[in-house]
Every structure is written in C-alpha cells, then in structure tokens.
Chain A
Amino acid sequence: GDSVTQMEGPVTLSEEAFLTINCTYTATGYPSLFWYVQYPGEGLQLLLKATKADDKGSNKGFEATYRKETTSFHLEKGSVQVSDSAVYFCALGGTASKLTFGTGTRLQVTL
C-alpha cells in the first residue's frame, strides 16, 4: 500500500538557517503530495501541495517539488524563523480519498 517516509526529528536550527526536511513516498498511481504543519496546540494546516510530477508547491517561503523519478517531495525554506517551530507532516492522497501521512518532523528554531 501507499506509504510516506520522513526524516526523523527533532530538527533544531538557528534563526535564518536553511531548512530541508526529507520526504519520500511509495504509491500506486499518481497521487497528490502535501506538506501539513501542526503548530503547538492546534490542528493540521495545509502548508503546500503539488498535484503532478515536477510541480512545485510554495507558501510562506517554504517550497517542495514533486519528483517522480526519486519519489520525493522534500520541504525547503531558505531562512527559518522562530515562528516556524512546529511539526511538519508529509502526506499523499488522491481526489477525495484518504491522506497517508509520514511520522512528522518536529522543527525547533532558536534565536
């Protein structure tokens, strides 16, 4: 079945550092790929998405490119802020179907 593998956390960075959180997937068909973010005490919010190969999703300075050849969807940000501290989940899914999530990666950004 479908699965998503994320790098283990926590990831601790200083403010303005470059962020990469790796995500690879296994899926049948051509799923859409997502990054969700969970801030402390809150629910899951969609951060960005890509619906087909070579699409780049971007939002709030975060980017991820749907790479079919490497089955990856790595999350990047050029300069993180303290307010980016959260748990980040990579996920895949199809139209109206369930989402399959990775284990989540906790990001802690310090001054």
Chain B
Amino acid sequence: EPEVTQTPSHQVTQMGQEVILRCVPISNHLYFYWYRQILGQKVEFLVSFYNNEISEKSEIFDDQFSVERPDGSNFTLKIRSTKLEDSAMYFCASTSPAGGSYNEQFFGPGTRLTVL
C-alpha cells in the first residue's frame, strides 16, 4: 500500500540553525500539507501546497518557514532560523481530490524536531 514517508524521524538542532524536513508524498497525489503538533497539544495546520505554489497558510507559517517541491517527488519544509518554540512533531500529508469529492489525507509518521 502506498504511504507517505518522512525523514529524518528525529532532528536535533541548535537555536538559530536552519533545518529542512523532508517528505515523499504518495506519487499520484496533487495536494500536500504540513502540520505540526507541539507535545501535548493539538495538531495544527501550517501550509498547503498545490500546483507548485502555496494554496493556504496559517499564521504560524511566517517568513521563517518555506516549502518546496524541488524534484517532483520530495516535498520539503524549511525553517530558516529555528527557535525553541519550533520544537514539535511535524507531519506531512497528501491527498488527491477527484471530482470535487473529499479524499482522505494520508499522513506520514512525522519528524520530531528538538531545538536546543
């Protein structure tokens, strides 16, 4: 069964450093998402991406964040200068709506980011 994969599973970084979180969505999907979950809190939407551009973003997704689909398979989230409060589990998801009906968003296993 196709699945969304994410690397690394755990990333530890120093405050102020740049990190890139990587995701490989399901190959025939068209919409891609990043969510995050701070420990003990709810899963929060960060950004959605379609047709090589951002389609929606939350207030969390400020200028420190960027997304890219560099090669038609990977989907990356970059944080330019990490802060302590960026420590969270980051989930990638993808879906492929067809005919206007909702299709399931498939989630990856997550990358745990720890900022020291």
Contact = CB atoms under 8 A, between A and B. Distances in A.
B101 A95 contact: yes
B95 to A, nearest CB: 7
A96 B99 CA distance: 11
A49 B104 contact: yes
A96 B43 CA distance: 17
B43 to A, nearest CB: 4
B64 to A, nearest CB: 19
Interface residues of B, number: 28
Interface in B78-116: 91, 93, 95, 97, 100-102, 104-110
Contact of A32 (B35, B102, B109): B102
Interface stretch (A64-72, A76-84, A98-106): A98-106
A34 to B, nearest CB: 8
Interface of A: 32, 36, 41-46, 49, 51, 89, 91, 93-104
**Smallest CB-CB A-B distances: 6 pairs:** A98-B45, A44-B107, A101-B43, A43-B109, A43-B107, A103-B42
Contacts of B43: 44, 89, 91, 99, 101, 104
Contacts of A41: 109
Given A42-B109, A44-B107, A103-B42, A98 B33 contact: yes
Contact of A43 (B58, B97, B108): B108
B26 to A, nearest CB: 13
B44 interface: yes
Contacts of B58: 98
Contacts of A36: 107
Interface string B44-63: 11001010000110100000
Contacts of A99: 33, 35, 43, 45, 93, 105
